[in-house]
Structure 1
Amino acid sequence: MSGQGQRLNVVPTVTMLGVMKARLVGATRGHTLLKKKSDALTVQFRQILKRIVSAKETMGETMKASAFALIEAKYAAGENIKHVVLENVESATVKVRARQENVAGVKLPKFEYFTEEGATKNDLTGLARGGQQIQSCQSAYIKAIEVLVELASLQTSFLTLDEAIKATNRRVNALENVVKPRLENTINYIKGELDELEREDFFRLKKIQGYKERELERQMESAKSFAEDQQAENFALQKGVSMRKAHDMLSMGTEKDEDIIF
């Protein structure tokens, strides 16, 4: 994966570890939502594709029927019916309006046709001859326009969905292959650094504890040796005093008085 071995340049602290975990949770949630959005758009995309295929098949039949109806109208009313039709048409009877449909957060344009009654006086078109064929030709072309509007709506939605699916899939791939692995590598790096710092602190505490124990033992040995020396000194001192007293007692009878010279 492209995100393996990469990580963010952060300071390995407990606070930053919490921040990275929160970002990873957000990235995971966003990846799940975008994946669901991509699936929903893909389902809608396939449905529109089926409808486009069906509309194109219908379009072929409708345009063929319209062309035959136009030929029949020209045969019945004559070749020069264009100016007659234009004289009777004041405004379009079939109009198109646009709206938007929201599908998983994507706004798809929709085109709808509608008919305004009383906008034309084409009921009298072809009154002289070929009126029925002209009306049939008009109905055939209205059906063709309806199919064209539906096909235009489907094609526009198809292109919009295609771009939305591509953008969503790029985001899903970026989260899955770049963002999430980078955050996971960063979290592993911070955990490793924190574990190393914890081991260093534990080793430092053990060294300090060992030093204190050795210092305590040395002080105890020093105090013990000092006590032994003091005891020996006291014993020697007491022994020296006793010998001096015994010597004085023994030497009391042997002393001679000094001669007195008159």
Structure 2
Amino acid sequence: MSGAVGREAVFPTRQSLGLMKSKLKGAEVGHSLLKRKSEALTKRFRDITRRIDEAKRKMGRVMQIAAFSLAEVSYAVGGDIGYQVQESAKQARFRVRTKQENVSGVFLPQFESYIEESVNDFGLTGLGKGGMQVQRCRETYARAVETLVELASLQTAFVILDEVIKVVNRRVNAIEHVIIPRTENTIKYINSELDELDREEFYRLKKVSNKKQRDSAAADAEILAKRHQADAAAMATVEPATQAQGELGATPDVLGEQEDTDVIF
């Protein structure tokens, strides 16, 4: 077993080898996709970070101008007009709508502000005096609220992307440093075991073939020995008969021309 991540607990077969190769291919494809997703999200995250910094700087300047504008209204009117605005406002003139943006499978909420022109409940505020300062203060605070909405949208996307990037990076690291090495170690283990089985099978077949050759050679030698014994036995039987015939001489011909003394006629 090589590597520090170990291997899968599988039985070394051809089927397991195919499954592990398919798993390795899927892990490599998944790692590539997640890596590209992480890069896209990181790029968007950096862009949002830059925009948040710009929005905060803009927010500081706008709120400073709004504070001076409110001070001008208080000086021009001669007091606080907050209660008048609260009593006059019945409906919201400044409104916010939301939509979603898909960034590599991650849905980021976006807040968009707009002004309802038909609603103007406190239009008569400052009619007696300080009307110009009130109008300018209202426009300044409208820009401040727009900046706040933009900053809230960016901040929400920032938090969501931060969490998603952490999860994606953990998955990428797990696939790269755990799953792929473990699968590769498993494939190496299965290949080594299959090679060992092939060597054992080759050795077994070689031993069986050698045994068959030895058995065949022994059977042929036994058959040849039996044949030699049979030939030797046959020769041993023929030689005494030939020798006896030689000792007795030739066999007389009863149908020959010599006369038989026992025959009366």
With the length of structure 2 as denominator, give the TM-score of the two structures.
0.91
* Structure 1 residue 3, shift from structure 2 partner: 6.4
Going from structure 1 to structure 2, the CA distance change for 1:222 and 1:5 (only over 3 Å counts) comes to farther
C-alpha displacement of 1:47: 0.3
Using the TM superposition, give the Cα deviation of residue 251 of structure 1 relative to its aligned residue in structure 2, in angstroms: 11
Superposed CA deviations along residues 174-193 of structure 1, whole A, max 9, x for unmatched, are: 10111111111111111111
Structure 1 residues 24-103: aligned runs within 5 Å? 24-103=24-103
Report which stretch shifted further, 36-45 or 185-194.
Answer: 185-194
State the alpha-carbon separation in 2 of the partners of residues 240 and 21 from structure 1.
83
- Give aligned-pair identity as a percent: 47
* Farther-moved stretch of structure 1 (230-239 vs 21-30): 230-239
1:128 matches 2:90:
no
Q: Are 2:56 and 2:151, in contact at CA under 8 Å, matched by a contact in 1? A: yes
The one-letter code of the counterpart of 2:17 is L
Structure 1 residue 36, shift from structure 2 partner: 0.4
The range that moved more, 149-158 or 71-80, is 71-80
Query: Would you identify which runs of 4 or more consecutive aligned residues in structure 1 move more than 4 Å?
Result: none
Distance in structure 1 (CA, Å) of the matches to 2:35 and 2:80:
60
Match runs of 1:1-262 below 5 Å: 4-249=4-249
Q: Give unpaired runs (5+ residues) of structure 1.
A: 253-262
Tell me, in whole angstroms, the C-alpha distance in 2 between the residues paired with 1:158 and 1:229. Answer: 104
Give the Å deviation of 1:5.
4.7
TM-score of the aligned structures, taking structure 1 as reference length: 0.92
Distance 1:29 1:152 in 2: 36
Does 85-94 or 133-142 show the bigger shift? 85-94
Question: Aligned residue for 1:256?
Answer: none
SS in 2 for 1:47: helix
Does the residue aligned with 1:122 lie in a helix, a strand or coil? coil
**For the structure 1 residues 5 and 128, does the alpha-carbon distance in structure 2 shift closer, same or farther, using more than 3 Å as the test?**
closer
Q: How many residues align?
A: 251
Does the aligned pair in 1 maintain the 2:91–2:121 contact within 8 Å? no
Query: Aligned Cα RMSD in Å?
Result: 1.7
**Is the CA contact 2:97–2:112 (under 8 Å) kept in the aligned structure 1?**
yes
Structure 1 contact 3–178 (Cα < 8 Å) conserved? no
Deviation of 1:83 after TM superposition, in Å, equals: 2.4
Relative distance call for 1:248 and 1:167 in structure 2 (3 A) is same
Q: Secondary structure at the match of 2:249?
A: helix
Given residue 68 of structure 2, which amino acid in structure 1 is its aligned partner?
A: F
